[in-house]
Structures are given as C-alpha cells and as structure tokens.
Structure 1
Amino acid sequence: MDPTTPAFDKTQTDTVTALVKRLLERDALLTPYAPVLERRLSRVLNLEKTLAGPQGRLADIAAEYDYFGLHREQDGWVFREWAPNATAIFLIGETNGWQPSKDFALARIQDNGIWELRLPGNTLSHGQLFRLLVQWEGGQGDRIPSYARRVVQDPHTLIFNAQVWEAPAYEWRHEPPDLSSQPALIYEAHVGMAQQEGQVGTFAAFTEKVLPRIIDSGYNTLQLMAIQEHPYYGSFGYHVSNFFAVSSRFGTPEDLKQLVDTAHGAGLRVIMDIVHSHAVSNEVEGLSRFDGTLHQYFHDGPRGLHTAWDSRCFDYGKEPVLRFLLSNCRFWLEEYRFDGFRFDGITSMLYLDHGLEKAFTGYDDYFNHNVDEEALTYLTLANRVIHQVRPDAITIAEDISGMPGLATPIGAGGIGFDFRLAMGVPDYWVRLVKEYADEAWPMGHLWHELNNRRYDEKSISYAESHDQALVGDQTLMFRMAGAAMYHHMCVDDPDTTVDRAMALHKMMRFITLTTAGHGYQSFMGNEFGHPEWIDFPRPGNAWSYHYARRQWHLADDPGLKYHFLQAFDREMVALVRRFSVLDAPWPYLLYEHNDDKILAFSRAGLVFVFNFHPTRSYTDYAIHAPAGKYIMILNSDDAAFGGHHRLAPDQEHLTLPMPNTKTAHRLFLYLPTRTALVLKADKA
C-alpha cells in the first residue's frame, strides 16, 4: 500500500476520527481543516504500519545503527552500507595502503542496494583510518561511511576519514535523573567555545571547568550544540556531515559519555541539538552524491538544495531515509544516554519554501500546498520512536511559524513534541531595544508578546538566543552598553550607560522567565552579560580563535560588575524553582500602565511588579492585589545585584481596600526606576 494513501479499514478510520476530534477539542479553530488533519494522520498511521508491521513497534525498526556501519562480531568484522546506485564499493584505508582490492570489496547482498563486507578479526585495529571508494556508472568517489561513528580530521591535510574505534566500553556510573515532572530550565552550551582560552574546547575540559558552573547556576537541563560531526567549525554545528559521529574536535566518544554521566550524577538532564532539517553539501565528508546520485538521501533537483543555507534537503518520503533518521534518534538516546533533543530548523522542514521571509498570519498558512506533509509525518514518527525508547525524554521544536499541534501529544492528534520554543520573544526584545526609546516601550504590546503562545501546547521562552551572540548581531547586554563595556564595568566606576544596560538586562530576563509557559532557556555567558560576540575562525579574521571562547574570569572577578548579573540570574532561577512558578497557571495581569511603564502580575501565589520607566520612581504606587500581608523576597535593585539599594529587604506591605468596594484591595509600593520586585503573601 502507498503509505501516503489513507487506509480504509474501519479500525484505522475510527482511530483517525477520534484523534482529530481530540485535536479539535483543544483548538476549535482547526475545525475547517478537519479533512486535511484526517489525511495527515492517516499518512502517519499508514507509514508507521508499513515500517513497523501490524504488530510491531516503530522503535524496533529504528535500530539500524546496529546493522549498518562497522561492527565487531565473534569471528571478525562486518561492514554494511546502503548505496543502491553503486556498481562496486571498496573499503580502503591504512590496513590496505588505501588501495582497492578484491579482499576489501563489498558484495551486494540485497536488491535494494545493501552491500556487505566480512573481514577476519585481525584485519582492522583500533585507531586505523579508513573510508570507502564507491563506483557507479560513469564515475567514482571516496566517501565516509554513512553510519560512521568516529570521524577525524588530519590537522595537516585537513582531510576527514572514518576511524576504527574499539575502545573499552564506558562504564556508566549514574542513571539519568527523573525530571519528567519538572519544567525545563535549559542552559545551552557549545563545548568547543566554552573554554576561557582561544582554542577549541574539549569534552574533558567542559566537564571539569564549565559543568560545575552550570550546576551552580540552578538550571536543570544542559543543552549541547554541535555534537554531530561537521566539517566547517564556523557552521556552529548545523552543517552536519556524519550523523552518527561525535565531533572529534572536542574529544573521544568516551569523553562525551563521561560528560553526560557526570551531569546525570549532578541531577542534570542532557539534551542535544539534533539536525535532521538538512545536511552539509560536501560529497566526500557528507551524504551528498554518496552513491553517484543526488537523490539517494535527498530530493532530486531544486527541491533537494537549500540555497539559503548551502545545504541538502532530505527526502522524507523515502523509507530508507526515514529508517536512517529514526535510527539516528534512537542511537543518541541509547549510545550516549541523551535525555532528549532540540530539533533544529523545524520551520525549514515544514514548508516547501522553508518559511523564509514569510509572515504566518492565519491558519490557512498551515493548511495549503506549501506544507511538506512528508516532513510532518517524519517528525511525528520521530517523536513516536523517541518516546517509545525513552518515555521520559523531552523533545523541543524550533519553529517560528506557529504550526498548530506541533507540541500536542500524538495520542491527542498532534505531532508529539513536548515543547515548542517561543521564538518571537527574543526577536521582540531586540526590536524594543533597537526601534523604541526607553520611554516609548509599549507595555501592553510587551505583555502580549511575552504571553503570545498556544495555550494548548507547552512552550519554552528565552530572552535572547545564541544567534544574537554571533558576529553580525549583538547580545542584549552588548547592544545596550556598547563600548562602555570596555571602559566602565569596574564596580567603583559609575556609568549611566552601563547602569541602564544592567538594570534592563536583569528585568528583561526576569520577566521572560516568570511569564514563560513551561520552560526557559539561556545561552552560556549571557547570564552575566558576556561582552563582545562569537566569531569562529575564518578567513575574514585570519583564522583567529580570539572570539570563539567564553570569558568566565569576568564573572569571577568581584571587582567587575559582571558578577552582579550572574548573581541575579542565579537568584531568579532559584526563585522560580522554589515556588514552582512555571508549574503554576498562566500569569494573571494585575495592573498595566503604559505611561508609567508599570506591569504587575501574579503567579504561583507571588506578585511580580516591574517599573520599566527610565527616569521615574514612584512612591505609594497602587497595585491591585489579593487582600493580605506581603513580604518582598527579591528585588533587582539590591546592591548584591549591582543595584542602587533603594528598597529595604524583607519589607512588609499590607493591602488596603479600594474605596466603595468590599472585595478589591490594593498594595501601595515604592517602585524605583528600572526595578523588578517580587512579593510573597505572608500566611502566618
């Protein structure tokens, strides 16, 4: 049966009908699109049945990494590869002088293009380099195996090769922590540029020097970028060449396992950026033209080329491609014990035009011929596999379009992601800083953007992304402080530009965190206002590593103001954990005044008040609040956070009834300019 054709058996039809009904109950605006939803769900169920069989489990077929590639068996080695257009394949390497021969020729064992080579046990040894010579009608080329688990680059020739890796099995010491009931407080990091020195960082150095900082920060989830092997370091890890190989720049597979294991022992879950939205265009290092065709893994013709990213686009309608990608999901969960994934570039996958320069303004944008339903099906199946292998794993969708159902459970008719990123929030903060004078910030619009999410789906908010830290853009702190960061960050050096930047930096991050749906994310170094930008080695900077690092010493120096920002970040994270703020219902707006630049809201039994005005402090400012006595438990103006210490700690405030009413009450507060404060009801 064509997996794209809806099934007609009554059981499956009833299942599809029930799933669509559940989805419509969550979002009635989807009702006009019920036929499209039924078609999409039928496609998913049909393809799952085709892949797994009527009684099978999809995760069971997602273990092809144990079949393809190089494996040690009891009587020797076995190597398998899928290359349907190839006419001959040879393993070449250090063991045979890099010359093709009949002793190292793969044999085609199946008509669907599977090739196999068996070698005696002493033929290959740990550390040897190898690759494939693939021949096809009219040509040939060297290729790195598609399932290679170890790929290394020669530091002199810069050539990549696969490497035989037979190190002793890593002995895991810690089980992954059970954080399934906790919101995701994510600390995003890039291992290679996490070091202080101008060089490529390693897994070992990260485990020793950076991981303790993350543990101390209070975040409960570590998100690692650039784990899959990529030939160009400056791609930030998003131009993947070898999907099953750990980037060897950072160390060995065992080094990564120790990092994950150590994080687990400290109570952190570890997720990785996984890139299934596209692949590098390189042909020797990557999958492009692997068997002599452009359409083995990717779409043929223009659809297979992502011109904006200079990369290749997977053909999600091909069963072998699906098996490859699904197997990749299971591999990272089982081999390295990752606790989930952030799927990169979802918008690019979902739309045939990749969603570039497109404004998504209504539901019609999600239900037309521009939607790639094959990619939509793959993402649903990937979530199915991940949660079958690890029910407690989390999956996060990076989607700017707002596709409905993306973070809805599969059992409720959705695509199955656990979270979606609230990607509009960081863009809005940049827009405010760039386009509006401080006194013109629109409080109502700000409140709308902070809470503009699909309330039937879980979301993760963030104030700024790693993209803003790259050359060509700026972090919030650097954008606001500019050159003053080079001259006025000493604690005994008052400066109005730095003072403004620090006050707003704390407030912007805090209000983003406390209004977040179900999680919050920060990029390493941003918590203390890291200066400058990230610039990977490239010809334009003479291949310098000077900016491809993090200057942790700035936050460690008590004589510099950076440590104030770090201290506040630690306290705000501790507060939301202590009071389970992100587990509580949505924030309830208590008060908004655009001219005064005041926002006040309640959540988790706490009252949050923000005065964004650049020049006005207010005395006895009235804020609506439930009746009772309140104690101030946190304020961003505290001297410990680099503030002006205009509020006495542990202040108590009593509400007063509003005139002519018996139920409404108000708090009267002193609200210093550019200050956020938190009040807790005293129930004693």
Structure 2
Amino acid sequence: FAVWAPAAERVSVVGDFNHWDGRCHPMTVHGSSGIWELFIPGLGPETLYKYEIRNRDTGELRLKSDPYAAAYQVRPETASRVIPESGYAWNDREWMENRDPEAWKHRPMSIYEVHLGSWQRSPDGDWPNYAELAERLVPYARDMGFTHLELLPVTEHPFDGSWGYQSTGFFAPTSRFGDPDDFRRFVDTAHQAGLGVILDWVPGHFPRDDFALARFDGTALYEHEDPRLGEHREWGTLIFNYGRPEVRNFLLSSALCWIEDFHLDGLRVDAVASMLYLDYNREDHEWIPNIHGGNENLEAIEFLRDVNETVQTGHPGVVMIAEESTAWPGVSRPPSMGGLGFTMKWNMGWMHDTLTYFGMDPIHRRYHHSQLTFAQIYAYSENFLLPFSHDEVVHGKRSLRGRMPGNEWEQHANMRLLYAWQWLYPGKKLLFMGQEFGQGTEWSEAGELDWYVLQYPLHQGLQQLVKDLNGVYREQPALHGREFEPDGFAWLNADDADNSVLSFVRRDVEGHERIVILNLTPVERSAYPIPSPRSGTWRVLLNTDSEFYGGASRGPLQCEATTEAYHGQPATLHVDLPPLTALLLEPTGG
C-alpha cells in the first residue's frame, strides 16, 4: 500500500482484516516525499480497505478511499477493494497494430455516444453488466455502421445523477457493471468487432465527497486552498491544482492507465474551457489573475499540453478530443505551434447554430440561412468533430426529435435532413444513443432508452437512414478522406436564402466529386437549378425522402447536367427536390 499525504502525522491501512482499527497497521513515511508505505501479507482478493489519516496540525482523523485503487465497492459503499493483478489475455493485436498516428484523419469516424447504465437494462430491470453490454451493445453499434463507441465516464463515481462526470476513482472502471477484467473483455470484444472505444475523461474537477480526494490529508492537497482558484460553484465541485507536480502526475497516470491497461483508443476530455480560464463562470471579484495579469490558467495549459504529448508520443494513433466551447486558438494544433495538442475539437458553434436553425418553423429559415453557412468561415482552423451529444437532450432541452417543428411526419423529415447535414458535412461525427431512432423523450439515466418506439415505421425508417448514412460515409472517400482540408469541400450555391436550399460538393484526394443538395423547407421544388462541376449523368446515392426512411419516395433516381454554366460552375443540374429532403449524388462512372 502507498499513498501521498504530506500533511499527515500518521497514516494507517484499515479494513475488515483489522476491524477498521487505525492502531493496527500504521504506515511508514518515505523520507520527505509525503508518501506513506506498508506491506501487509496475506490479504486476499476482495479485501476492503481505506486509509485512516491523522492531520499533524489539527489531529483530525479522516477516513479515505485509495485514490489509486483499481476497484471500489458499488455505491453507496465507498471502500477500496484489493483485486489481483490482471491476467487478462487480450485478443485485439491486429486492431492495436492497425492504429496509426496520421491515418485517423483520413478514415471515417462515426461515434456512438453511450451511457452504459441506461442504454438497455437487463431483463430484471437492473443495470446491465459489461458482459451483457459486450453481447448486445457491441453488435448493435457495429451493425448500425458506427466506427467507435464513446462512453460517458465509467471512472468510479458515487452519484448516478452525475452520469460519471464527478469521478472519485480515476483508475477504476465502475463496479456497477462488473470488475476491471470484465471491462477489458468489453473493450476487447469491441475491437474484435471493428469498433474503437473512447472514454469521457474528467481531469477538470472532482466532487467534494468526504471519503475521496477533497481535503485528503486535512489540507487542500489535490485542490487549491483559495476557493477563487479551487471551486466550481456552478457544479459544486473542486478544481485540481495543476501547479503541483504530484497532482499533474496523478492525472497523467490516470490517462495512461486507461490507454495502456484497458486498450482504449482515445480520451474525450470534458469541460476543457473550465480548465483554461481562471474566470470561467465567475464574477470579477471571484477569480485571481495569473502572474501576467491575464485570465488564462497557465498551469492547466501546461498540463493539457503535457498529457496530449505524452499520450500521442507513447501511443501513436490514440485520439485526444477536446470538448472546448470557446474560441481558444490552436486547440487541435501541436504545442510546437503554440497549440494545446489535441487531435480534435468538438465543433460547438456548428452544433448550436445547426440545432437553432432546425428548431425553427421552416417559414422563418430564410432569415437565418447564415446559421448553416457561417461555420465554413472557421471550419479548417481546427480538426473538428460534429457532435449531437447527451448535453443536447437533457435539462429541458428536449430530445432532438422533440426540437423539430411541425407534425410527426414533418418532425421525422427534419430529423432525416438534420442527420444528412451532419453526415455529409466535413467533420467527424458523434451521435448520442437513442437519437438514431428518434427517441421522443429527454434522456434520463434512471431508465433505458425508449426501444418500444421501433415498432413504428417512422422510427424504423430513421434508424435505417442513420445506418445507411454510416454506410455511404464509410464507403465514399469524398465524404471522409479530406474532412480537415478546405480542398475537400466547396459551396455550389450557398446564397439561396429565399428558397432555403443549399448545395455543395465534396471531393476526395483523387478529385472524385459528390454533390449534396438540401431542401430545408416543406415546399417541393421542380426543376430546381443546381450548379454542377461537370456535365453528364449524376446518380442519386441517397435520398432522405425514400420510403425506406419513412418518406414518400419523391425525387429523381438520376439527373442530367447540361453544359449551361451557372453560378461559377461549368454545368447545371435541374433537379426535382422533395420537401425537407437531402440528396447525395455521384457522377456515373465515378
């Protein structure tokens, strides 16, 4: 046993084996390091333990879980558990060897974001275990065509309602669903099925629970003493002190643990903006400027650069994704260029503009056309991922379907159009569970998804569309090969606000082109002129109005582009556009 508690006068290991008596197994401090150590022979697997810590100045006794424990009791109990060293035999060698530090940029990435406890419950209504999730979730995501699973935090946490974002066990998969080797088997199963696994990781803050990190040795050890630096009042949590080497190493070790011990393919770092800014969500008198008088958290910036460089240098091909909601420059640029070193950044601006636009009655969309076109101004300043995440379907925001205007058919038509816009626009993709089949209610961690709606054709059709969008995205290099390059995208006509029609072209590295057309109102448009980069026949690859998706199968199967120049292009297509529909076209012959 070893634990860091520099302000302690005495530290003991306590547990069932000594009747939780701190006098029985006192630890020895290792020089001036503040690290206390003890070997106790004969303790078997599943032994429960904590540390009893006496502060040297106050004499206060604190009973703490092990910050580095590999497993804990299931909440509401909070003791750490002794578990044997893992002997799990991995079977994902081919997957691991295929990870590449550059190839991810040019490969399709379509992420299915999942909260494991509420995706689908066990038959008895309880949480599923990791084995059940490997058996059910993995083949579902694979068959839907997703390339990755992203898990809301499975780091151990005491409060279900935090969804894992208030972690107390930074090295332990939550025991709600099984043991660490069960989680390893889940990841291994995903890899063998061709699915990557990304974890939401939360190094920005931690909860105040008395059994965990807060005032660990009777002092502000992991956090700051001054609440102007050490508290997130909005969330009721504490902020890590990134200026302490021991705290930085604790968090860096956590990141490496998940990547090395559990073979994860990436970390999505939560709430990066809250780490970068000292005045994040604070009034003027509630924060302390840095040594230069600015609002940047210099220690957090250095930590983020360090963890990104360490992970990507040691594990090429692992992705580090930032949930960062501000205009901080260079989030996905290397530290050598002044960046933070992430591989990708969530495009929160695109997401907010898109959902605002699609939530409008189509009669008003002509006045807000720029909300869909504006993102191209900054689209290549970062490596962007396009997210429709859990945050957009909770806290009164309604489900994505619930945001759509109109009657039930129009809502689903708008959903089909929304997903076509997401999948056919440049940027990697993320969709939260349940939205692929149009769940009507807000998400809640307290139950499972509304799977019963799949008995209805409109929901079946939407699910089929997401599957087919994943298919064309994966199969068409023009849609995934140059998502971070401006030469892979060009507007054909972004100016027809009056009719709320958009058209653009996507290109692969060999110059093969695919045309995307969106009719964003419920008005059918006949022989609508679309600028075309070439004359000849164009075949419709995907039509969101297809009866297979719940539509009416209006629109063409193919179109002929004449040599009439239009809107800066050498040819013109005249296309019958169904209402609230997206079309994807490819030229015959490639």
> What is the TM-score with the length of structure 1 in the denominator?
0.78
Deviation at 1:662, TM superposition (A): 11
Give the distance between the partners of 1:305 and 1:636, measured in 2 at CA: 48
Deviation at 1:530, TM superposition (A): 1.4
One of 407, 412, 421 as aligned partner of 2:332? 407
1:440 paired to 2:364:
yes
1:326 paired to 2:246:
no
One of 590, 607, 630 as aligned partner of 2:492? 590
| Residue identity in the other structure for 1:440 | H
The answer as to whether partners of 1:126 and 1:167 remain within 8 angstroms in 2 is: no
One of 387, 390, 396 as aligned partner of 2:315? 390
The answer as to whether partners of 2:49 and 2:79 remain within 8 angstroms in 1 is: yes
The answer as to whether partners of 2:248 and 2:303 remain within 8 angstroms in 1 is: yes
SS of 1:145's equivalent in the other structure is: coil
Q: How many corresponding residue pairs?
A: 558
**1:20-419 equivalences in 2 (<5 Å):** 79-102=1-24, 104-120=25-41, 122=42, 124-136=43-55, 137-138=57-58, 139-153=60-74, 158-166=76-84, 169-175=87-93, 176-177=95-96, 178-180=98-100, 181=103, 182-196=107-121, 198-284=125-211, 286-294=212-220, 296-302=221-227, 303-354=229-280, 369-419=294-344
The answer as to whether partners of 2:559 and 2:574 remain within 8 angstroms in 1 is: no
**1:423-434 equivalences in 2 (<5 Å):** 423-434=348-359
1:500 paired to 2:410:
yes
Give the distance between the partners of 1:194 and 1:205, measured in 2 at CA: 11
Deviation at 1:448, TM superposition (A): 2.6
Structure 2 residue aligned with 1:552: 451
The answer as to whether partners of 2:204 and 2:271 remain within 8 angstroms in 1 is: yes
Farther off after superposition, 566-575 or 438-447 = 438-447
| Residue identity in the other structure for 1:465 | S
Deviation at 1:648, TM superposition (A): 4.5
Q: Report the CA distance shift for 1:326/1:240 in structure 2 as closer, same or farther (over 3 A).
A: same
Give the distance between the partners of 2:86 and 2:216, measured in 1 at CA: 31
Deviation at 1:402, TM superposition (A): 2.1
Structure 2 residue aligned with 1:619: 526
Deviation at 1:645, TM superposition (A): 1.0
Give the distance between the partners of 2:330 and 2:141, measured in 1 at CA: 32
Residues 184-231 of structure 1, C-alpha deviation per residue, up to 9 Å, x if partnerless? Answer: 221111111111454323222211111111001111111111210111
Give the distance between the partners of 1:349 and 1:93, measured in 2 at CA: 36
Structure 1 residue aligned with 2:383: 458
SS of 1:561's equivalent in the other structure is: helix
The answer as to whether partners of 1:656 and 1:667 remain within 8 angstroms in 2 is: no
The answer as to whether partners of 2:531 and 2:565 remain within 8 angstroms in 1 is: no
Residues 26-75 of structure 1, C-alpha deviation per residue, up to 9 Å, x if partnerless? Answer: xxxxxxxxxxxxxxxxxxxxxxxxxxxxxxxxxxxxxxxxxxxxxxxxxx
SS of 1:321's equivalent in the other structure is: helix
Query: Cα RMSD between the aligned structures?
Result: 2.1
SS of 2:8's equivalent in the other structure is: coil
The answer as to whether partners of 1:83 and 1:114 remain within 8 angstroms in 2 is: yes
One of 418, 421, 430 as aligned partner of 1:511? 421
| Residue identity in the other structure for 2:30 | I
Deviation at 1:351, TM superposition (A): 0.2
SS of 1:521's equivalent in the other structure is: strand
1:421 paired to 2:327:
no
Structure 1 residue aligned with 2:288: none
Deviation at 1:357, TM superposition (A): 9.9
**1:501-650 equivalences in 2 (<5 Å):** 501-517=411-427, 519-536=428-445, 545=446, 548-555=447-454, 557=455, 559-580=456-477, 581-584=479-482, 585-592=487-494, 593-604=496-507, 605-614=513-522, 616-628=523-535, 629-649=537-557
| Residue identity in the other structure for 2:424 | T
Deviation at 1:552, TM superposition (A): 3.0
Residues 507-535 of structure 1, C-alpha deviation per residue, up to 9 Å, x if partnerless? Answer: 11211222233x11111111111121223
SS of 2:222's equivalent in the other structure is: coil
One of 383, 386, 397 as aligned partner of 1:473? 397
Q: Tell me the percent identity.
A: 29
The answer as to whether partners of 2:128 and 2:177 remain within 8 angstroms in 1 is: yes
> What is the TM-score with the length of structure 2 in the denominator?
0.90
| Residue identity in the other structure for 1:207 | A
Deviation at 1:169, TM superposition (A): 1.2
One of 558, 563, 580 as aligned partner of 1:674? 580
Deviation at 1:457, TM superposition (A): 2.3
| Residue identity in the other structure for 2:502 | L
The answer as to whether partners of 1:203 and 1:259 remain within 8 angstroms in 2 is: yes
**1:472-491 equivalences in 2 (<5 Å):** 472-480=396-404
The answer as to whether partners of 1:149 and 1:244 remain within 8 angstroms in 2 is: yes
Give the distance between the partners of 2:531 and 2:33, measured in 1 at CA: 70
Deviation at 1:355, TM superposition (A): 5.1
Give the distance between the partners of 2:283 and 2:155, measured in 1 at CA: 28
Give the distance between the partners of 2:533 and 2:341, measured in 1 at CA: 38
Structure 1 residue aligned with 2:510: none
Q: Report the CA distance shift for 1:430/1:607 in structure 2 as closer, same or farther (over 3 A).
A: closer
Give the distance between the partners of 1:144 and 1:501, measured in 2 at CA: 49
The answer as to whether partners of 1:179 and 1:269 remain within 8 angstroms in 2 is: no
Give the distance between the partners of 1:662 and 1:328, measured in 2 at CA: 53
Residues 603-656 of structure 1, C-alpha deviation per residue, up to 9 Å, x if partnerless? Answer: 021000000112x2111111111122211111001000000111243x242333
| Residue identity in the other structure for 2:422 | T
SS of 1:670's equivalent in the other structure is: strand
| Residue identity in the other structure for 1:587 | F
The answer as to whether partners of 1:450 and 1:512 remain within 8 angstroms in 2 is: no
SS of 1:384's equivalent in the other structure is: helix
Deviation at 1:553, TM superposition (A): 4.2
Give the distance between the partners of 1:357 and 1:500, measured in 2 at CA: 43
| Residue identity in the other structure for 2:72 | V
Farther off after superposition, 403-412 or 245-254 = 403-412
Q: Report the CA distance shift for 1:162/1:196 in structure 2 as closer, same or farther (over 3 A).
A: closer
SS of 1:406's equivalent in the other structure is: coil
Deviation at 1:453, TM superposition (A): 3.3
Unaligned runs of 5+ in 1: 1-78, 359-366, 482-495, 537-544
Give the distance between the partners of 1:662 and 1:433, measured in 2 at CA: 28
Give the distance between the partners of 2:565 and 2:3, measured in 1 at CA: 76
Deviation at 1:356, TM superposition (A): 6.6
